[in-house]
Amino acid sequence: MGRGASDGDRIELRGLRVDGVHGVLEEERLHAQPFEVDLDLFLDTEPAASADDLAATADYAAAADAVVAVVTGPPRRLLESLAAAIADRVLADRRVESVTVVIRKLRPPLAHEVASTGVRIHRRRVGGAGPGRGAPEPGRGAPESR
């Protein structure tokens, strides 16, 4: 029997950089700016490990394509909204039980020099059918950033 996502199985995607037009300020909505996204896809990897078969697991290339589609898609004001849309797209893969999305704005319009601002959200499938919002994973929350 597989260990499953509840035991910590995950597929990681780190540092996906995508240009998009998102933000509260008008200047942010006029020109594309760089965003960086990390994903943790929680799922049972045992079937794929046993079969050595991509069809038995979540495809991280498809997850990356989902991120790019959302970030290059319609503008959103808040990173929270952008991250939630990414989570919903990733959870469309029924093999993914939950997902953590980290999104960073690499050139935030601040008066102070910072490397980035961002949000981290965790969403889990509700009732085993379709995307949904679960409680944040303990210790995984981040202050709201825009």
Q: Please state, in angstroms and rounded to a whole number, the distance separating the CA atoms of residues 69 and 134.
A: 23
Q: Which of 89, 105, 123, 124 is catalytic?
A: 105
Q: Is 105 a catalytic residue?
A: yes
> What are phi and psi for residue 111, nearest 5 degrees?
-80, -10
Burial, 46: exposed, middle or buried (Cβ in 10 Å; 0-12, 13-18, 19+)? middle
**Contact by Cβ (8 Å): 81, 27:** no
User: Which residues share a beta bridge with 84?
Assistant: none
Catalytic residues: 105
